[in-house]
């Protein structure tokens, strides 16, 4: 009998498996590598969220949500709100520059949903980094599996896999932080089904609504856990069945149980890729391949043609509709435009956060070169295990080719500590990189018994000098 | 050229049409019948919400959400919360006894989502009943059209049409109360797409998660409007297109534009049915048909067989799985069980709120009779224009038949004023029906310049004597 056959014979549902795992975490000794991965996810998420929170609309939203007596810090704003709305804000901010991490196999930006929810839960009850870490691990294990079980089905329907899976991840995270029992956790996962969704309609016009997908997922998961704590019951078969998640929003529930069967055996949080670039993850390896060719002496002025090869499931985000991708309407939408990102890398030799400043769209050098770019389908690529990229450039000096099978920052090609620290400091520093570096050290070295509220106070103190 | 052809030639989207309509409401003189319908929707919703808020889990949730300085009243609890969470709580409470109204053609419990969102929006800015009425009208016009445009498609996917449509209704309601302009309203509707969802997974086990579907819709709509007010942009084509609502969650966007083309011409809020019974709307006419036969001298002891005929789309809620419907697991799930509701009506000669007390499941007289009930598909019924019911009862004294083509409370068979008032008083009275009657009078007769916060104070004062 296989593990999943045993599970089926016990008549356990996928949410039973998830709830039992989440509820058992507080009595489990977690592998050091898993705790280390969770700590990295927290630091990286705080960094990109503080960067994202500078968006004017988010700063205005922070004012609307602010409560003097709120327990939830709105990262990067110096304000507080009720915890669920702090989770919402921080999740939206985490996704603000599209600089947050991704589980490639699941195609889920899990940290954007999970970390803010777990943080708010820990703040609300004045809990510790140890509790926060447990929540982040629980949330990631659940969110990654929901995304993997979908096999791209949510995305094919027109939905943001991140927010669909993230609602359950956020609920699991809060349940773990609060150490709810398995019954309550199962109810919370069931109630989360009411919040699972998030359209990809922003793809057509690059509107900011995208940020609210993880925002609402984080908030929904938090409130589902709160409702379960209050005693509300949720459907036991939220993943399976005629009206379950995968039937309603995906391609059907086949294989869900198997995906949940090795919780605690395989740790998906270790499989998360940290982004070195603030744009769509699917374009990272392509840009690195472009930079490799450029670095070997290419004359950018003499380029005739740039041919990229990408896995077909990435086309929706980077290449459709092609006309709109060649003429992006906002600097934000350049983050999701293959031709512009490739042209930007070729002209500047690098892409950083500063590349997306408001003058970007008037750069005719980049716009012109973007017209030379084309893309074709990569038949048998390693996607989604990794997000590969492959480029062929024709210029007056001949043909050059480069292929990156693995996105840099993938667990098999991890960023080094210096790069991660520099990313954090660049994201958080508002005129004072020393304070940012100090905050990095506090976040990365605090003992697990440190209270999350103390971390929040550190953050607020580190960010008060800037124009925020 | 038809109206919709003109619309298409102007390249307007469905959310353009909705936003233009909502933004124009404050300068429009609304028909008296429309204002009257909106007032009735508010009163009926407050009544059923106060009744629903007595659920222990909701009372516990109210404690968790409570903020001394929150502008949003949690109806029936005497507590306040931040406005969006008050909208969530009140929406969940509105659906607590399944006693809230329905637009039959759209199959949408719109008031549960729209009224709490509009109320919270008016409280937050200290606005008037006139503003509240405008919001409720805007919300209903949008929610009904989203539901109608789905043609049952959301439900077939496994989703709660009420919460999918309700998220947009709630956003429209808040935008109208706050008198946002068309651009902001369009952004709010676009952002609402991130919150649209709500699984019907509760159908399998009758769990309370169902309540949170309108709860999250009301909250999501409120926060979408708040985010739009802060300047966040949302997708302009949230209903149409490859990643739009109807493609992602329904059968496709065909006909959406036509459904939105007569906003302001046809008033859907006038087409809402008020429930006389606290259970699934689809069963109302069946129960009335049963009571008609019983009233003509049937000997209940001698019944051999009760055959019901129902439109097929109602089977999911009332008849599937049949085994579970014949053996409901909680008094709550009896509200969605055709055989038990029919048996209850036959044995008691009436069904009231009190019928669903905790002893219900141990009533073997009802349980036995439920075994005699069967159901068959009604081929060409007036559903969904009305929710019809038809019954044939075989007993030792022969065969009796009755058919109700229209659910009582439908706009074509409206409840009279006395019945509506009695329903309100029964829902709200906690040992003091005089105070409840007074609250009814205040809600129904206050001038449109009365502040909603004053109504909230009246409600709190009316409800402080009971055990709440």
A199 with B84: Cβ contact below 8 A: no
Q: Are B390 and B288 found together in one domain?
A: yes
- What value does the mean pLDDT take over residues A26-36? 96
Query: Quick check: A361 pLDDT over 90?
Result: yes
Domain ends where: B273, B297, B322? B273
Q: Are B28 and B119 found together in one domain?
A: yes
Interface test with B, best of A55, A170, A219, A235 (most B CBs within 10 A): A235
pLDDT digits (tens, 9 = 90+) for A363-408: 999 999 999 999 999 999 999 999 999 999 999 989 999 999 999 9
- What distance in Å separates residue B109's CA from the closest CA in chain A? 15
Q: B374 forms bridges with which residues in the sheet?
A: B307
Provide the 10 A C-beta neighbour count for residue A352: 10
Q: Are B102 and B142 found together in one domain?
A: yes
Name the strands in the sheet holding B389-395, side by side, starting at the edge strand that comes first in the sequence: B373-377, B303-310, B389-395, B398-404
Residue at A455 is within a domain: no
Query: Quick check: A291 pLDDT over 90?
Result: yes
Residues of B in contact with A168 (CB under 8 A): none
Which residue stretches of chain B have pLDDT < 50? 465-468
Residue at B467 is within a domain: no
pLDDT digits (tens, 9 = 90+) for A181-226: 999 999 999 999 999 999 999 988 888 889 999 999 999 999 999 9
Q: Cα(first)–Cα(last) distance of chain B, in Å?
A: 59
Interface of A with B in 247-266 (CB under 8 A): 247-249
* Cα distance between residue B421 and residue B428, in whole Å: 11
Place of tokens 């933004």: B23
Q: Are A286 and A213 found together in one domain?
A: no
Q: B30 forms bridges with which residues in the sheet?
A: none
Residue pair A197/A168 in contact by the 8 Å Cβ criterion: no
What is the structure's pLDDT at B242? 92
Cα–Cα nearest to B407, from B308, B286, B278, B292: B286
Instruction: Tell me if chain A has a CB within 8 Å of the CB of B170.
Output: no
Q: Are B332 and B456 found together in one domain?
A: no
Evaluate the CA torsion angle A311, A317, A321, A324 in order and state its sign. Answer: negative
Residue at A342 is within a domain: yes
Closest residue in A to B213 (Cα) is: A194
Q: Are B69 and B205 found together in one domain?
A: yes
What is the structure's pLDDT at A467? 43
Closest residue in B to A251 (Cα) is: B157
Residue B347 structure tokens: 């044995």
Q: Are B266 and B390 found together in one domain?
A: no
Cα–Cα nearest to A410, from A272, A284, A291, A298: A272
* Banded model confidence at residue A8, pLDDT cuts 50, 70, 90: low
Instruction: Tell me if chain A has a CB within 8 Å of the CB of B158.
Output: yes
What is the structure's pLDDT at A203? 87
CATH code assigned at A51 = 1.10.4100.10
Instruction: Tell me if chain B has a CB within 8 Å of the CB of A243.
Output: yes
Select the residue of A65, A191, A201 nearest B237 (Cβ to Cβ).
A201
- What distance in Å separates residue A349's CA from the closest CA in chain B? 31
Q: A389 forms bridges with which residues in the sheet?
A: A404
Select the residue of B67, B216, B248 nearest A220 (Cβ to Cβ).
B216
How many C-alpha atoms does A142 have within 13 Å on its Cβ side?
A: 40
- Distance of alpha carbon B245 from the chain centroid: 21
Residues of A in contact with B159 (CB under 8 A): 248
Q: Give backbone dihedrals phi and psi of B284, rounded to 5 degrees, phi first.
A: -60, -50
- Give the number of A-B residue pairs with CB atoms closer than 8 Å: 229
Q: Are strands A102-103 and A79-81 parallel, antiparallel or unpaired?
A: unpaired
Residue at B409 is within a domain: no
The domain total for chain A is: 2
Does residue B376 sit in helix, strand or coil?
Answer: strand
Q: Are B135 and B250 found together in one domain?
A: yes
What is the structure's pLDDT at B204? 84
Interface test with A, best of B232, B237, B319, B332 (most A CBs within 10 A): B232
Residues of B in contact with A160 (CB under 8 A): 194
Residues of A in contact with B56 (CB under 8 A): 231
Q: Are A225 and A304 found together in one domain?
A: no
How many C-alpha atoms does A121 have within 13 Å on its Cβ side?
A: 36
* Banded model confidence at residue A468, pLDDT cuts 50, 70, 90: very low
CA dist B330 to A242, B92, B276, Å?
21, 18, 22
Q: Are A324 and A212 found together in one domain?
A: no
Q: Are strands B373-377 and B303-310 parallel, antiparallel or unpaired?
A: parallel
Q: Are B262 and B293 found together in one domain?
A: no
Domain ends where: B232, B256, B273? B273
Interface test with B, best of A96, A174, A201 (most B CBs within 10 A): A201
Domain coverage including residue A200 = 3-273
Interface of B with A in 380-439 (CB under 8 A): none
Q: Are B33 and B176 found together in one domain?
A: yes
Residue pair B167/B196 in contact by the 8 Å Cβ criterion: yes
Least confident of A132-146, A164-178, A273-287, A425-439: A425-439
Select the residue of B56, B88, B159 nearest A231 (Cβ to Cβ).
B56
B201 with A67: Cβ contact below 8 A: no
Instruction: Tell me if chain A has a CB within 8 Å of the CB of B312.
Output: no
* Banded model confidence at residue A409, pLDDT cuts 50, 70, 90: very high
B235 with A207: Cβ contact below 8 A: yes
Residue at A299 is within a domain: yes
Interface of A with B in 118-137 (CB under 8 A): none
Interface test with B, best of A195, A226, A245 (most B CBs within 10 A): A195
- What value does the mean pLDDT take over residues A418-435? 90
* Cα distance between residue B260 and residue A442, in whole Å: 54
Residue at A427 is within a domain: no
Evaluate the CA torsion angle B405, B410, B415, B416 in order and state its sign. Answer: negative
CATH code assigned at A310 = 3.30.1330.120
Closest residue in B to A317 (Cα) is: B243
pLDDT digits (tens, 9 = 90+) for A294-317: 999 999 999 999 999 999 999 999
Q: What is the mean pLDDT of chain A?
A: 95
Strands (E), A266-410: 272-273, 303-310, 373-377, 389-395, 398-404
Residues of A in contact with B67 (CB under 8 A): 67, 69, 82
The fraction of chain A above a pLDDT of 90, given in percent, is 90
What is the structure's pLDDT at A461? 85
Residues of A in contact with B190 (CB under 8 A): 201-202, 207, 209
Residue at B9 is within a domain: yes
Instruction: List all residues 6 or more positions away from A246 whose beta carbon is below 8 Å from its beta carbon.
Output: A149, A150, A153, A239, A240, A252, A253, A256
Looking at this predicted complex, what is its ipTM? 0.95
* Cα distance between residue A355 and residue A362, in whole Å: 12
Instruction: Tell me if chain B has a CB within 8 Å of the CB of A208.
Output: yes
Domain ends where: A378, A404, A430? A404
Interface of B with A in 315-334 (CB under 8 A): 316
Residue at A59 is within a domain: yes
What is the structure's pLDDT at B2? 65
Instruction: Tell me if chain B has a CB within 8 Å of the CB of A450.
Output: no
Cα–Cα nearest to B370, from B416, B435, B305: B305
Q: Are strands A79-81 and B272-273 parallel, antiparallel or unpaired?
A: unpaired
């Amino acid at each position: 009998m296989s593990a999943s056959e045993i599970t089926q014979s016990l008549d356990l549902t996928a949410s039973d498996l998830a709830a039992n795992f989440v509820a058992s975490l507080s009595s489990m000794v977690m592998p050091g590598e898993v705790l280390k991965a969770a700590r990295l996810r927290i630091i990286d998420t705080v960094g990109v969220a503080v960067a994202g929170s500078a968006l004017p609309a988010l700063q205005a939203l922070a004012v609307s949500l602010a409560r003097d007596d709120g327990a939830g810090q709105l990262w990067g704003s110096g304000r507080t709100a009720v915890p669920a709305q702090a989770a919402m804000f921080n999740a939206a901010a985490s996704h603000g520059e599209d600089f947050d991490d991704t589980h490639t196999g699941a195609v889920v930006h899990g940290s954007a949903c999970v970390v803010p929810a777990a943080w708010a839960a820990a703040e609300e009850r004045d809990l510790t980094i140890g509790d926060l870490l447990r929540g982040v691990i629980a949330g990631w294990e659940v969110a990654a599996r929901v995304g993997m079980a979908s096999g791209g089905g949510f995305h094919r329907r027109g939905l943001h896999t991140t927010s669909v899976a993230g609602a359950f991840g956020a609920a699991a995270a809060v349940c773990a932080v609060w150490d709810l029992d398995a019954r309550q956790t199962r109810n919370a996962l069931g109630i989360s089904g009411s919040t699972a969704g998030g359209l990809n309609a922003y793809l057509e016009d690059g509107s900011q609504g995208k940020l609210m997908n993880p925002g609402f997922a984080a908030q929904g998961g938090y409130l589902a856990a709160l409702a379960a704590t209050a005693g509300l019951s949720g459907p036991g078969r939220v993943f399976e069945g005629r009206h379950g998640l995968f039937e309603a929003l995906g391609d059907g529930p086949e294989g869900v149980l198997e995906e949940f069967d090795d919780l605690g055996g395989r740790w998906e949080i270790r499989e998360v890729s940290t982004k070195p670039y603030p744009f769509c993850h699917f374009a990272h390896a392509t840009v690195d391949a472009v930079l490799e060719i450029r670095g070997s002496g290419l004359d950018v002025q003499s380029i005739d043609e740039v041919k990229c090869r990408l896995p077909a499931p990435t086309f929706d985000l980077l290449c459709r509709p092609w006309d709109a991708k060649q003429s992006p309407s906002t600097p934000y939408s350049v983050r999701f435009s293959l031709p512009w990102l490739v042209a930007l890398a070729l002209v500047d030799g690098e892409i950083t956060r500063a590349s997306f400043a408001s003058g970007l769209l008037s750069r005719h050098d980049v716009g012109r070169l973007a017209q030379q770019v084309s893309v074709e389908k990569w038949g048998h690529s390693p996607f989604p295990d990794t997000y590969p990229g492959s480029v062929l450039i024709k210029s007056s000096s001949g043909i050059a080719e480069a292929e990156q099978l693995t996105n840099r920052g993938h667990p098999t090609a991890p960023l080094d500590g210096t790069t991660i620290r520099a990313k954090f400091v660049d994201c958080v520093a508002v005129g004072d990189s020393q304070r940012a570096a100090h905050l990095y050290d506090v976040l990365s070295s605090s003992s697990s018994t440190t209270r999350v509220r103390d971390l929040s106070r550190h953050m607020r103190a580190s960010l008060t000098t800037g124009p925020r």
